[in-house]
A and B are shown apart, each in its own frame.
Chain A
Amino acid sequence: MTAQLAAWTYGAAVAAALGYFLLGIPVQLTETFGNMLKLDATWRELLVAEFTQQAYLRPLLFAQLKLVYDASGGEYFAWFRGVHVVQAGLLVALYVHLVQPRTWRDAATLPIGLSVLVGMHTFTGTVREAFPINTFLTIVLCCFAAAALVLARYRWWNDVMAVLLVVVATLTVETGLLAAVIIVCGVMVGARGVSRVGAVLTVVVVAAYVVLRLYAFDIGSPGLTERASGYGLRILDTSELVERFGENPWPFYAYNVVTSVLSVLLSEPRSGVFRLIASLMEEPRPALIVNVIASIAATMAIAWYVWNRRRAWMTWQLDRDDRLLLLFIAVLLANAVISYPYTKDAIMSPAGAFYALAVFVAFRRLVHADVARPVAAGLMATWCLVAGTAWAIRSTGTHLDLRQAGFEVRNEWAYADQWFERNRSPVEGPRATTLLRVLRDDAIVRHPGKAELPATRSPLMEIGN
């Protein structure tokens, strides 16, 4: 009981620190202002417009935005950033709930697990990006909630919750489909929180989504000409992509899937670009080396776990930790497949979050393992120290990056009129002008930035865009 309390207290401390640094970021200008202007429409107008537009099928993303927008009564910073902080707190709480620390050794494993959750590059991109609700974080929450449901004790309403969760996640962002993957895979590996009927119903929801998207609303997936993408050692622009892969895009799609998997396991490549190799050819960047060391140490722990449990796995004698790890593998592969048109850190955020669960499971077993030989014990202790230190550095980097994000967003607002001119999107009408003034004053006058912390300039951490 005391170890559990210690674990939950530590989780609360991590959530509090994250929340504090999140509160330093004003509501963003880019990718936010336009969305907020849409929210003056009625519910009906908004949902009809979102269901009938050609680019995406994300109506519930806008429903969530409107809910908070209407509730805010003009206090946009407090409400939208407040939601962001609550999301971060919920994520940490769900993480602790999923890994279920029971002993003191479990509680001692929690810091590295939460460091991986917060320090993963997939999380950094996720927690920074907001439209102005952090949609990718919403999906990670849905995925964790799906895992919690399927791993729980069965109750009839779990099936209803599972179906609702999949509907909400899928209609929020495309990666929400992963919630269904988690439910189905959870049932397949013996979790009994959701019944087989419940799992089948989530598959029906996914099938309905695909039919609706492809045939009813004629919304495809992004083509090669829509955005630049990483390939090899650099970013290829759309014309280069068409030149190389216009006739046969499958090698490019396969590249995206494979590099998405590698990016979670090794922190390289990132968004399709092998940045560490590119930097070693010019000027080595210590932060990228720290990232790779941290990931190798953690991925090795997962590999060690799988090797240790191979006999149990082969005889299908799975315990809760095995199921969590198998769910990670399923989410990693499915997330990478969804990323086939283009790869980006934030899109891989569900896989990154499940990686943090798998790392906890692996290190929990490692700290409990009996090692008789002193050399092996010494090596394992060094391994733990290297992993703990490298992930602590990465986690610090995420917090400092949030501080830097606050600085960058405030400057965006200071240069807002120039940004609108560059994008040829003049602010027209009294509503847009008022919203611009309120958000700008929020960012610059009412919630001025905090001091840059000296550690921000450390070369060991990746900070800033």
Chain B
Amino acid sequence: MVRALLLALPASLVTIGLLGVAVGERIAPSLFDHYRPRNAAEAAAAGNAAEVLRRLHRGEDPLREYVVRPQFISSAVQHASMLEAAMWSRRIQMFVMLDRAGVLANDETRHELVCLAEDLSLPDVAEYLSREDAPACEPQQALNRLFARTSEEEMP
């Protein structure tokens, strides 16, 4: 009987655990919040394009600054807009989608994103976003501005 129990136990525990997840997600979804995006910026950083689109449809502002939990970008960047956070998805498709959704129309925003893409070594994103007549970026300045928001928040 020991052999039967040793054989049965791991799989039975897994089945109970999976059913626990199913029930838990219904009655206490906050238990599973660690990697669930709480806002558009977290969704964009995680590369969750569908969630970004859903939140845009719901009317969330792509330029609004959100609190981003460290597991989505890093402890150094905890305040970002959806467009800035999208850089960490490292997917050019995300920016094509956002462009087509009409949220990249502002030249100033676009230029700041080009500089951020260059700072993060995302040449394809930078190339896609850049306009011919845009001024050159100062290296690391866009990224430093983003870092500064988190460090300002952390200052007493």
User: Which residues of A does B touch, CB under 8 Å?
Assistant: 10, 13-14, 16-17, 20-21, 104-105, 108-112, 114-115, 363, 366-367, 380-381, 384-385, 387-389, 391-393, 395-396, 399, 407, 410-411, 413-415, 417-418, 443-445, 448-454, 456
Contacts and interface: CB of A to CB of B under 8 A. Distances in A.
A111 B50 contact: no
A438 to B, nearest CB: 15
Contacts of B21: 453
Given A108-B7, A367-B7, A451-B34, 13 more contacts: A13-B19, A17-B19, A17-B22, A105-B1, A111-B12, A114-B11, A387-B7, A392-B10, A392-B14, A414-B97, A415-B93, A449-B48, A451-B32
24 contacts: A13-B16, A17-B15, A20-B18, A20-B19, A105-B1, A108-B4, A109-B4, A112-B7, A112-B8, A366-B3, A381-B2, A388-B7, A407-B48, A411-B47, A414-B50, A443-B50, A449-B50, A450-B25, A450-B36, A451-B33, A452-B36, A452-B46, A454-B34, A454-B35
Contacts of A453: 21, 32, 35
A445 B21 CA distance: 23
A370 to B, nearest CB: 11
Contacts of B6: 381, 384-385, 388
Interface SS, A side: helix
Contact of B10 (A114, A388, A450): A388
A411 B3 CA distance: 45
Contacts of A16: 19, 22
A451 B9 contact: no
Interface residues of B, number: 42
A389 B10 contact: yes
Contacts of B9: 388
Interface of B: 1-19, 21-22, 25, 29, 32-36, 46-54, 57, 93, 96-97, 100
Nearest to A409: B50
A108 B10 CA distance: 11
Contacts of A366: 3
Given A112-B8, A415-B93, A396 B50 contact: no
Contacts of A115: 11, 14
Given A115-B11, A388-B10, A414 B53 contact: yes
A444 B54 contact: yes
A105 B8 CA distance: 9
Contacts of B49: 410-411, 414-415
A110 B2 CA distance: 15
A296 to B, nearest CB: 16
Contact of A448 (B47, B51, B96): B51
Contacts of B33: 451
